[in-house]
Protein backbone atom coordinates (compact mmCIF):
# COMPACT_ATOMS: atom_id res chain seq x y z
CA UNK A 1 0.00 0.00 0.00
CA UNK A 2 2.73 2.43 1.05
CA UNK A 3 4.84 1.86 -2.06
CA UNK A 4 2.03 2.74 -4.45
CA UNK A 5 0.97 5.92 -2.68
CA UNK A 6 2.26 9.28 -3.95
CA UNK A 7 4.03 11.64 -1.55
CA UNK A 8 1.43 14.38 -1.99
CA UNK A 9 -1.30 11.91 -1.14
CA UNK A 10 0.46 11.06 2.14
CA UNK A 11 0.41 14.72 3.09
CA UNK A 12 -3.28 14.93 2.27
CA UNK A 13 -4.02 11.78 4.28
CA UNK A 14 -2.05 13.11 7.28
CA UNK A 15 -4.19 16.26 7.33
CA UNK A 16 -7.42 14.26 7.05
CA UNK A 17 -6.47 11.96 9.95
CA UNK A 18 -5.34 14.81 12.23
CA UNK A 19 -8.45 16.87 11.53
CA UNK A 20 -10.71 13.85 12.06
CA UNK A 21 -9.15 12.82 15.39
CA UNK A 22 -9.54 16.35 16.74
CA UNK A 23 -13.08 16.86 15.45
CA UNK A 24 -16.42 16.20 17.11
CA UNK A 25 -16.80 13.13 14.89
CA UNK A 26 -13.47 11.81 16.15
CA UNK A 27 -14.75 11.80 19.73
CA UNK A 28 -17.21 9.02 18.90
CA UNK A 29 -14.79 6.50 17.33
CA UNK A 30 -12.59 3.86 18.91
CA UNK A 31 -9.23 5.54 18.30
CA UNK A 32 -7.27 2.50 19.42
CA UNK A 33 -8.96 0.27 16.84
CA UNK A 34 -8.57 2.97 14.19
CA UNK A 35 -4.83 3.10 14.86
CA UNK A 36 -4.31 -0.67 15.10
CA UNK A 37 -6.33 -1.65 12.04
CA UNK A 38 -5.70 1.35 9.79
CA UNK A 39 -3.02 3.89 10.70
CA UNK A 40 -0.45 1.29 11.83
CA UNK A 41 -0.43 -0.14 8.29
CA UNK A 42 1.42 2.95 7.06
CA UNK A 43 2.69 4.68 10.21
CA UNK A 44 6.30 4.68 8.95
CA UNK A 45 5.22 6.59 5.83
CA UNK A 46 3.65 9.46 7.81
CA UNK A 47 5.79 12.48 8.68
CA UNK A 48 7.22 11.58 12.06
CA UNK A 49 5.94 14.69 13.88
CA UNK A 50 2.45 14.22 12.43
CA UNK A 51 2.58 10.63 13.68
CA UNK A 52 3.42 11.90 17.18
CA UNK A 53 0.49 14.34 16.98
CA UNK A 54 -1.81 11.47 15.99
CA UNK A 55 -0.53 9.28 18.84
CA UNK A 56 -1.45 11.81 21.54
CA UNK A 57 -5.28 11.56 21.21
CA UNK A 58 -4.97 7.78 20.71
CA UNK A 59 -3.02 7.42 23.99
CA UNK A 60 -5.57 9.68 25.71
CA UNK A 61 -8.38 7.47 24.40
CA UNK A 62 -6.67 4.28 25.62
CA UNK A 63 -6.18 5.72 29.11
CA UNK A 64 -9.52 7.46 29.51
CA UNK A 65 -11.36 4.51 27.97
CA UNK A 66 -10.24 2.52 30.99
CA UNK A 67 -11.34 5.37 33.28
CA UNK A 68 -7.74 6.36 34.03
CA UNK A 69 -7.21 3.26 36.18
CA UNK A 70 -3.68 2.00 36.80
CA UNK A 71 -4.27 -0.58 34.08
CA UNK A 72 -5.45 2.13 31.68
CA UNK A 73 -2.46 4.35 32.39
CA UNK A 74 -0.10 1.42 31.85
CA UNK A 75 -1.79 0.65 28.51
CA UNK A 76 -1.46 4.29 27.43
CA UNK A 77 2.21 4.40 28.42
CA UNK A 78 2.93 1.11 26.62
CA UNK A 79 1.36 2.52 23.45
CA UNK A 80 3.54 5.65 23.66
CA UNK A 81 6.72 3.66 24.35
CA UNK A 82 6.08 1.56 21.23
CA UNK A 83 5.73 4.73 19.15
CA UNK A 84 8.98 6.11 20.62
CA UNK A 85 10.82 3.44 18.64
CA UNK A 86 9.45 4.98 15.43
CA UNK A 87 9.93 8.64 16.41
CA UNK A 88 13.31 8.55 18.20
CA UNK A 89 15.24 10.26 15.37
CA UNK A 90 13.09 13.44 15.52
CA UNK A 91 13.67 15.75 18.51
CA UNK A 92 10.25 17.38 18.05
CA UNK A 93 8.32 14.12 17.68
CA UNK A 94 10.12 12.50 20.64
CA UNK A 95 9.40 15.53 22.79
CA UNK A 96 5.72 15.51 21.83
CA UNK A 97 5.51 11.87 22.98
CA UNK A 98 7.39 12.67 26.21
CA UNK A 99 4.84 15.40 26.98
CA UNK A 100 2.05 12.89 26.29
CA UNK A 101 3.83 10.43 28.60
CA UNK A 102 3.72 13.05 31.37
CA UNK A 103 0.01 13.50 30.68
CA UNK A 104 -0.60 9.76 31.12
CA UNK A 105 1.21 9.86 34.49
CA UNK A 106 -0.87 12.86 35.59
CA UNK A 107 -4.08 10.89 34.93
CA UNK A 108 -3.31 8.77 38.00
CA UNK A 109 -4.50 9.15 41.57
CA UNK A 110 -5.40 12.86 42.03
CA UNK A 111 -4.12 12.70 45.60
CA UNK A 112 -0.42 12.42 44.85
CA UNK A 113 1.98 12.29 47.76
CA UNK A 114 4.40 15.19 48.10
CA UNK A 115 7.25 12.97 46.88
CA UNK A 116 5.27 11.97 43.79
CA UNK A 117 4.46 15.62 43.07
CA UNK A 118 8.13 16.55 43.38
CA UNK A 119 9.02 13.88 40.80
CA UNK A 120 6.29 15.13 38.43
CA UNK A 121 7.44 18.75 38.73
CA UNK A 122 11.06 17.67 38.16
CA UNK A 123 9.89 16.14 34.87
CA UNK A 124 8.00 19.34 34.06
CA UNK A 125 11.13 21.46 34.61
CA UNK A 126 13.20 19.12 32.42
CA UNK A 127 10.61 19.17 29.63
CA UNK A 128 10.32 22.96 29.87
CA UNK A 129 14.06 23.31 29.20
CA UNK A 130 13.83 20.85 26.30
CA UNK A 131 10.92 22.74 24.72
CA UNK A 132 12.75 26.08 25.10
CA UNK A 133 15.84 24.67 23.32
CA UNK A 134 13.94 23.61 20.19
CA UNK A 135 14.50 25.80 17.10
CA UNK A 136 11.60 28.12 16.32
CA UNK A 137 9.06 26.36 14.14
CA UNK A 138 5.39 25.49 13.90
CA UNK A 139 6.23 22.15 15.55
CA UNK A 140 7.76 23.91 18.56
CA UNK A 141 4.64 26.08 18.90
CA UNK A 142 2.41 23.00 18.85
CA UNK A 143 4.49 21.21 21.50
CA UNK A 144 4.73 24.34 23.64
CA UNK A 145 0.96 24.85 23.69
CA UNK A 146 0.28 21.22 24.62
CA UNK A 147 3.02 21.18 27.27
CA UNK A 148 2.15 24.46 28.98
CA UNK A 149 -1.58 23.67 28.98
CA UNK A 150 -0.87 20.33 30.65
CA UNK A 151 1.60 21.81 33.15
CA UNK A 152 -0.87 24.55 34.10
CA UNK A 153 -3.55 21.96 34.88
CA UNK A 154 -1.18 19.83 36.97
CA UNK A 155 0.12 22.86 38.88
CA UNK A 156 -3.40 24.18 39.55
CA UNK A 157 -4.50 20.78 40.85
CA UNK A 158 -1.50 20.72 43.18
CA UNK A 159 -2.23 24.27 44.46
CA UNK A 160 1.07 25.48 42.95
CA UNK A 161 -0.37 28.69 41.57
CA UNK A 162 2.99 30.36 40.98
CA UNK A 163 4.02 27.52 38.66
CA UNK A 164 0.59 27.54 36.99
CA UNK A 165 0.92 31.26 36.27
CA UNK A 166 4.42 30.85 34.78
CA UNK A 167 3.28 28.16 32.35
CA UNK A 168 0.04 29.92 31.50
CA UNK A 169 1.85 33.17 30.74
CA UNK A 170 4.09 31.41 28.20
CA UNK A 171 1.11 29.54 26.76
CA UNK A 172 -0.84 32.77 26.18
CA UNK A 173 2.12 34.25 24.29
CA UNK A 174 2.14 31.23 21.95
CA UNK A 175 -1.64 31.08 21.65
CA UNK A 176 -2.15 34.08 19.37
CA UNK A 177 0.44 32.89 16.86
CA UNK A 178 -1.09 29.42 16.87
CA UNK A 179 -4.67 30.68 16.37
CA UNK A 180 -3.67 32.90 13.44
CA UNK A 181 -1.53 30.19 11.85
CA UNK A 182 -4.56 27.90 11.83
CA UNK A 183 -6.69 30.65 10.23
CA UNK A 184 -9.24 30.32 13.03
CA UNK A 185 -12.37 32.45 12.68
CA UNK A 186 -12.55 35.77 14.50
CA UNK A 187 -15.37 34.48 16.71
CA UNK A 188 -13.39 31.37 17.68
CA UNK A 189 -10.24 33.41 18.38
CA UNK A 190 -12.11 35.83 20.61
CA UNK A 191 -13.84 33.04 22.52
CA UNK A 192 -10.57 31.17 23.02
CA UNK A 193 -8.66 34.29 24.06
CA UNK A 194 -11.36 35.19 26.59
CA UNK A 195 -11.28 31.72 28.10
CA UNK A 196 -7.51 31.76 28.57
CA UNK A 197 -7.48 35.38 29.71
CA UNK A 198 -9.74 34.33 32.60
CA UNK A 199 -7.39 31.50 33.53
CA UNK A 200 -4.38 33.81 33.39
CA UNK A 201 -6.11 36.35 35.66
CA UNK A 202 -7.17 33.68 38.16
CA UNK A 203 -3.71 32.11 38.27
CA UNK A 204 -2.21 35.55 38.90
CA UNK A 205 -4.67 36.12 41.76
CA UNK A 206 -3.67 32.94 43.56
CA UNK A 207 0.08 33.01 42.76
CA UNK A 208 1.77 34.04 46.01
CA UNK A 209 4.55 35.99 44.28
CA UNK A 210 2.30 38.14 42.04
CA UNK A 211 1.32 41.41 43.67
CA UNK A 212 1.70 43.68 40.63
CA UNK A 213 -1.15 42.88 38.25
CA UNK A 214 -0.30 45.42 35.55
CA UNK A 215 1.44 42.80 33.33
CA UNK A 216 -1.77 40.75 33.52
CA UNK A 217 -4.16 43.67 33.06
CA UNK A 218 -2.32 44.80 29.94
CA UNK A 219 -1.49 41.36 28.57
CA UNK A 220 -1.99 41.07 24.81
CA UNK A 221 -4.96 38.68 25.18
CA UNK A 222 -6.63 40.46 28.11
CA UNK A 223 -9.87 42.03 26.93
CA UNK A 224 -12.29 43.95 29.23
CA UNK A 225 -13.52 40.84 31.03
CA UNK A 226 -15.23 40.67 34.40
CA UNK A 227 -12.05 39.52 36.14
CA UNK A 228 -10.28 42.78 35.28
CA UNK A 229 -12.34 44.37 38.04
CA UNK A 230 -11.23 41.69 40.48
CA UNK A 231 -7.59 42.41 39.67
CA UNK A 232 -8.24 46.12 40.08
CA UNK A 233 -9.54 45.53 43.62
CA UNK A 234 -6.02 44.38 44.49
CA UNK A 235 -4.19 46.87 42.29
CA UNK A 236 -6.11 49.80 43.81
CA UNK A 237 -6.23 48.20 47.27
CA UNK A 238 -10.01 48.67 47.27
CA UNK A 239 -10.73 47.39 50.77
CA UNK A 240 -14.47 48.13 50.59
CA UNK A 241 -15.07 45.94 47.55
CA UNK A 242 -12.75 43.26 48.89
CA UNK A 243 -14.66 43.06 52.17
CA UNK A 244 -18.00 42.96 50.32
CA UNK A 245 -16.62 40.15 48.19
CA UNK A 246 -15.42 38.29 51.29
CA UNK A 247 -18.75 38.66 53.11
CA UNK A 248 -20.72 37.52 50.09
CA UNK A 249 -18.46 34.49 49.75
CA UNK A 250 -19.01 33.54 53.42
CA UNK A 251 -22.76 34.03 53.07
CA UNK A 252 -23.23 31.76 50.05
CA UNK A 253 -21.03 28.85 51.20
CA UNK A 254 -23.81 27.24 53.33
CA UNK A 255 -26.21 27.59 50.39
CA UNK A 256 -23.67 25.96 48.06
CA UNK A 257 -23.26 23.13 50.56
CA UNK A 258 -27.02 22.51 50.74
CA UNK A 259 -27.51 22.75 46.97
CA UNK A 260 -24.51 20.47 46.28
CA UNK A 261 -23.27 22.85 43.57
CA UNK A 262 -19.55 22.30 44.00
CA UNK A 263 -17.98 20.35 41.12
CA UNK A 264 -16.54 16.96 42.20
CA UNK A 265 -12.95 18.13 41.70
CA UNK A 266 -13.35 20.72 44.47
CA UNK A 267 -14.24 20.64 48.13
CA UNK A 268 -15.55 23.31 50.46
CA UNK A 269 -12.23 23.21 52.29
CA UNK A 270 -10.37 24.00 49.08
CA UNK A 271 -12.68 26.93 48.28
CA UNK A 272 -12.31 28.31 51.81
CA UNK A 273 -8.54 27.88 51.49
CA UNK A 274 -8.51 29.93 48.30
CA UNK A 275 -10.38 32.73 50.05
CA UNK A 276 -7.69 32.73 52.73
CA UNK A 277 -5.04 32.95 50.02
CA UNK A 278 -6.75 36.00 48.55
CA UNK A 279 -7.07 37.68 51.93
CA UNK A 280 -3.39 37.10 52.71
CA UNK A 281 -2.46 38.59 49.35
CA UNK A 282 -4.74 41.60 49.85
CA UNK A 283 -3.26 42.24 53.30
CA UNK A 284 0.29 42.04 51.94
CA UNK A 285 -0.53 44.58 49.21
CA UNK A 286 -2.17 46.88 51.77
CA UNK A 287 0.90 46.56 54.01
CA UNK A 288 3.20 47.45 51.14
CA UNK A 289 1.18 50.56 50.29
CA UNK A 290 1.06 51.70 53.92
CA UNK A 291 4.81 51.14 54.33
CA UNK A 292 5.49 53.11 51.14
CA UNK A 293 3.47 56.05 52.48
CA UNK A 294 5.55 56.31 55.68
CA UNK A 295 9.12 55.00 55.71
CA UNK A 296 9.35 55.54 59.47
CA UNK A 297 6.82 52.82 60.31
CA UNK A 298 8.15 49.53 61.66
CA UNK A 299 6.88 46.21 60.30
CA UNK A 300 4.85 45.72 63.49
CA UNK A 301 3.27 49.17 63.11
CA UNK A 302 2.40 48.46 59.48
CA UNK A 303 0.72 45.18 60.46
CA UNK A 304 -1.29 46.98 63.16
CA UNK A 305 -2.44 49.55 60.59
CA UNK A 306 -3.51 46.79 58.19
CA UNK A 307 -5.38 44.95 60.95
CA UNK A 308 -7.23 48.11 61.98
CA UNK A 309 -7.84 49.00 58.35
CA UNK A 310 -9.51 45.63 57.67
CA UNK A 311 -11.35 45.48 60.98
CA UNK A 312 -12.98 48.90 60.57
CA UNK A 313 -13.99 48.22 56.98
CA UNK A 314 -15.51 44.82 57.78
CA UNK A 315 -17.42 46.41 60.67
CA UNK A 316 -18.99 49.17 58.57
CA UNK A 317 -18.89 47.65 55.07
CA UNK A 318 -22.66 47.11 54.84
CA UNK A 319 -23.22 50.86 55.23
CA UNK A 320 -20.80 51.70 52.43
CA UNK A 321 -22.34 52.37 49.00
CA UNK A 322 -19.91 50.64 46.64
CA UNK A 323 -21.14 47.40 45.08
CA UNK A 324 -19.32 44.50 43.51
CA UNK A 325 -20.17 41.89 40.89
CA UNK A 326 -21.54 38.75 42.53
CA UNK A 327 -20.34 36.59 39.66
CA UNK A 328 -16.79 37.08 40.92
CA UNK A 329 -17.30 34.14 43.24
CA UNK A 330 -16.95 31.86 40.17
CA UNK A 331 -13.19 32.27 40.33
CA UNK A 332 -13.19 29.61 43.05
CA UNK A 333 -14.19 26.87 40.64
CA UNK A 334 -12.66 28.05 37.37
CA UNK A 335 -12.63 24.63 35.70
CA UNK A 336 -16.36 24.12 36.09
CA UNK A 337 -17.17 27.12 33.92
CA UNK A 338 -14.82 26.36 31.02
In sign, the C-alpha dihedral spanning 71, 148, 57, 122 is negative
Q: Is residue 281 situated within a structural domain?
A: yes
pLDDT confidence bin for 175, thresholds 50/70/90:
confident
Burial class (CB in 10 A: 0-12, 13-18, 19+), 190: middle
Contact 240, 317 (CB under 8 A): yes
Domain boundaries, position 5:
1-124
Q: What is the pLDDT of residue 335?
A: 40
Please check whether residue 92 lies inside any domain of the structure: yes
pTM for the model: 0.73
Residues 323-332: pLDDT tens digits? 555 555 555 5
Query: Is 200 contained in some domain?
Result: no
Query: How many angstroms separate the CA atoms of 63 and 59, rounded?
Result: 6
Tens of pLDDT, residues 9-41: 767 787 888 888 877 777 788 888 888 888 888
Last residue of a domain, one of 78, 108, 124: 124
pLDDT one-digit tens code per residue, 111-135:
567 787 888 899 999 999 999 999 9
Q: Which of 49-58, 168-177, 180-189 has the least mean pLDDT? A: 180-189
- 158 domain residue, yes or no: no
HSE of 257, CA atoms in CB hemisphere, 13 A? 10
What are the tens digits of pLDDT across the range 37-71? 888 888 888 889 989 989 988 988 888 776 667 78
Domain count, the chain: 2
- pLDDT tens for residues 99-117? 998 888 776 555 567 787 8
Give the residue with greater pLDDT, 160 vs 108.
160
Look at residue 170 and tell me if it is in a domain.
no
- Residue 112 DSSP one-character state: -
Is 64 within the bounds of a domain?
A: yes
Amino acid sequence: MAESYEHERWLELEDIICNFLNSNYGKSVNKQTMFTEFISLFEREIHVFILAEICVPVAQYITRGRRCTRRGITAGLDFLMARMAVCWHSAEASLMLRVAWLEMCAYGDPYFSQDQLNVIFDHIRTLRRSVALLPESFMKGTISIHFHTLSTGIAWGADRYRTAYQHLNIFCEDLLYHLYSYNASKEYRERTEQSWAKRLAISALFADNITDFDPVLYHIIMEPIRLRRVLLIFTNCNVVNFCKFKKFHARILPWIRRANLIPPIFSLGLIEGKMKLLEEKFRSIAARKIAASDNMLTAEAVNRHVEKFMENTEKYVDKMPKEFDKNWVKIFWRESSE
